[in-house]
Amino acid sequence: MIENPLEWMAWTVPTAIFFATIATMLVAMTVWEVVSPTIQRRGFLPISTTRGDRFFIGLLTSAFIHVGWIAFTDLSLWIALAIAAVWMVIVMRYG
């Protein structure tokens, strides 16, 4: 039996940076929402979305981009990160 639950997951520096980045983006989105409340709008996505909706959709699809990249190619994961970052900007701006 494992006595320390923190031993269940390998907390590496890249993992910590990833979660810290997500937390920072969530805090920034919250501050942005308080300073400048959003309204629903339609972009290329088939639903009306707010800024937070587009952020969630962008994060979720970025995760799928990374999983697909790992599943179907042996190329560097940095390329997937670049594609996901560009996709996130497109969704946030035009979604």
pTM score, two decimals? 0.76
Instruction: Give all strands (DSSP E) within 2-94, no chain letters.
Output: 41-42, 48-49
Cβ neighbour number for residue 94 with a 10 Å cutoff = 10
| Tens digits of residue pLDDT in 6-64 | 666 677 777 788 889 889 999 999 999 999 998 899 989 899 999 999 999 999 999 99
* Helical packing angle, 51-72 and 77-94, nearest 10°: 160
Domain ranges in the chain are 5-94
Q: What is the pLDDT of residues 76-95, one digit of tens each?
A: 888 998 999 999 999 999 98
